[in-house]
Amino acid sequence: MPSAKAREARGAGRVSRPERERVLELIERHGWNATAFQTLEPGYRYFFDGDDACVAYVDTGRAWVAAGAPIAAHDALGDVAARFLQAARSAGRKACFFAAEERLTGAARLRSLRIGEQPVWDPRGWGEVLAGHRSLREQLRRARAKGVTVRRLEAAELAAGPTREAMQRLADRWLATREMAPMGFLVHVDPFSFPEARRCFVAEIDGRLVAFAGLIPVPARGGWFLEDLLRDPEAPNGTGELLVDAVMRWAAATGVDWLTLGLAPLAGAVAAPMRLARRGGALLYDFEGIRAYKAKLRPNAWTPIYLAFPPDQGALRSIFESLAAFARGGFLRFGVRTLLRGPTSLVRFLAALLVPWTALLALAPAQPWFPSPAVKWSWVGFDVLLAAGLFRLLGRWRQGLATALASAVSLDAALTLAQAVLWNAPRTRGLLDGLVVAAACAGPALAALLLWGAIRTRRVEAVL
């Protein structure tokens, strides 16, 4: 039976296969951006400009967010982009182009904001990269020593059969380990659409699939985009690098001279607000780690990638709508789904906050915050034990300890709310007192939510 994620993915797109086949024909003629083939995956709508151009986009309800540049001849880019923007305005929508390259920004009258970099390799030089990269060679050796082997799949295996089912299970398991809820748009995981046009390599140990690399074509460049590189959390170190090595060797043997691993978001010389977002978002997304991994493979070049939008449209509005396209279903729903996963980074953050909070409790006078000094010091002692338990849990996950802590924090949340209602509320004087009481109630409630979410996520990982 297909997984819930697989059924959701199939239901997300409201476009018929014949229409996608029409887009595929355009991609085969004009697919220059790395994102072009991704637009055949579920969830996109299409604006067709005559018979020889189209723009793939997501409608957020307020804007049309295009996935890369128009799929069109180079000399038609500017005109197609202008007609797409006009069509969006006629539909009462804003519009922008996410993950565009300088080829579009130079051809159309658009403002642009640099959002990251895309590493590019000439696979024919991969042997020289390995020769000068001792640590990478050691990673390959480790994976092989653990019995990891790599093979290329035939299109029929990708279309149906036990290997495809194993890939879907691995994708589900991989998604279950992510800190954030699954996103849509250009990071949606769907390695199966139009399997005859794709290339896929799998890593196995004694016939058991532990990782896979999925490539999509970039026809106008005669190249490939290594779109998916997914590994089981328990796969040996070096498994991902072994897959990349197999991909590079295959590409070199077939005469490919252009290959990318896709956007490293917020990498490179981005504007100050984007650098701030890179630092602020590190709790949930490892921007630095993504770029470092790709840089470790020593690309030949880094290509700047942009968010392009009309001159009369603000940059912040364009960024907001682009994020909405990734969030699929709205920011509130995405945020709640992420919290329900119990991201380890947020659990760690709450554990760190518990230390100064406990110190404040110890320094605060018993009156008017607590019914008696004994109650105050009982809360202080509880928080000290809770902090110790959380830091121990974060050092090494134990399902039993996690369940005990989540139960204790849930009881803490209930007792704190009871004290707030029965004792603190009648004695609250002013806004500041109210905010303190509200924070005292919100803290354990949020901690309980995160811990139960983390427990659920770990159980899902164990089952998949």
Q: What's the N-to-C CA distance of the chain in angstroms? A: 14
142 belongs to a structural domain: no
Total of domains in the chain: 1
- Tokens linked to 364: 């605060």
Tokens of 333: 């729903």
* 353 belongs to a structural domain: yes
Which of 10, 76, 235, 273 is CA-nearest to residue 143? Answer: 235
Instruction: Give the mean pLDDT per block of 10 residues along the chain (464 residues).
Output: 38 62 95 95 92 95 95 95 96 96 91 95 96 94 96 92 92 75 79 92 95 96 95 91 97 97 90 78 75 93 95 92 84 70 70 84 84 89 88 81 88 89 85 85 83 72 48
Give the 3-state secondary structure of residue 60. Answer: coil
Q: 203-230 burial, b if ≥16 CB within 10 A, otherwise e?
A: bbbeeebbbbbbbbbbbbbebbbbbbbb
CA-based nearest residue to 3, from 392, 462, 460, 320: 460
The sign of the CA dihedral 165, 167, 168, 172 is positive
How far is the CA of 437 from the CAs of 28, 95, 374, 441, in angstroms? 62, 44, 19, 6
Structure tokens at 69: 């540049």
Query: How many helices (H) and strands (E) in the chain?
Result: 19, 12
Segments of 122-207 assigned E as strands: 148-152, 199-205
Cα separation, 322 vs 310, in Å, equals 14
Residue 154 DSSP code: P
- Distance CA(333)–CA(314), nearest Å, equals 25
From residue 57, how far is each of 116, 126, 432 by CA, in Å?
Answer: 20, 35, 47
| CB neighbour list of residue 179: distance below 8 Å, 6 or more residues apart | 284, 285, 338, 341, 343, 344, 345
Residue with tokens 């009881």: 411
CB under 8 Å to 103, separation ≥6 — which residues? 32, 33, 69, 74, 77
What is the b/e burial string over 323-345, where b = at least 16 CB atoms within 10 angstroms of the residue's CB? bbbbbbeeeeebeeebebbbbbe
Read off φ and ψ for residue 235, nearest 5 degrees: -65, 145
Residues 373 and 388: their CA atoms lie apart, in Å, by 23
- Tell me which H or E stretch contains 217: strand 208-218
The verdict on residue 402 lying in a domain is yes
DSSP state of 368: H
Identify whether 357 is part of a domain.
yes
Domain that holds residue 351: 344-463
Cα–Cα distance list, 238 to 146, 311, 330 (Å)? 10, 46, 37
Does residue 9 sit within a domain?
no
Contact 167, 161 (CB under 8 A): no
Contacts of 273 by beta carbon, 8 Å cutoff, 6+ apart = none
Q: Is this prediction's pTM over 0.85?
A: no
Q: Is residue 33 domain-resident?
A: no
In a domain, 18, yes or no: no
Residue 354: burial class (beta carbons within 10 Å; 0-12, 13-18, 19+): buried
